[in-house]
Amino acid sequence: MDDKLESQSPTKPSSTLYCRLKVRLLQQAYFTGYAKKQIPRSIRRLLARTEIHRAWLDGYNGCFTQDGIKYGPANPYSAEKHDSALMERFGAAEFELPC
């Protein structure tokens, strides 16, 4: 029983907490950019080339991933393309588009 207690890492709960906080911070930065909220230039320079800045910039540019496909300014989202992919994936009989 003592072996089990010793083998558990005392840093594991804090690392999961760290991961959750990091994800929440990056999501907040993404949605701030998606809302087109500007960050002052001085703060942007401090955050340059960090994950926070990249998350904000992705949101600001409208970049997102859906079903493993990355969409953004260079690859705009096409509802027709996505709907035809769904029809191929699930079969036309099971998936019908409203007129």
Reading the block at residue 77, the tokens are 């989202």
Strand, helix or coil for residue 84: helix
- Which one has a higher pLDDT value, 76 or 28? 28
pLDDT at 57 (0 to 100): 94
Q: Are residues 27 and 42 in the same domain?
A: yes
Is there a single domain that holds both residue 40 and residue 67? no
According to the model, what pLDDT value does residue 96 have?
47
Residue 1 has pLDDT above 60, yes or no: no
Say yes or no: 55 and 24 in one domain: yes
- Is 51 contained in some domain? yes
Same domain, 67 and 55: no
Range of the domain at 97: 63-99
Provide the pLDDT confidence category of residue 79 given band limits of 50, 70 and 90: low
> pLDDT tens-digit profile of 19-74?
999 999 999 999 999 999 999 999 999 999 999 999 999 999 999 988 888 888 88
pTM of the model: 0.63
- Rounded to 5 degrees, what angle do the CA atoms 48, 18, 24 make? 65
Domain count, the chain: 2
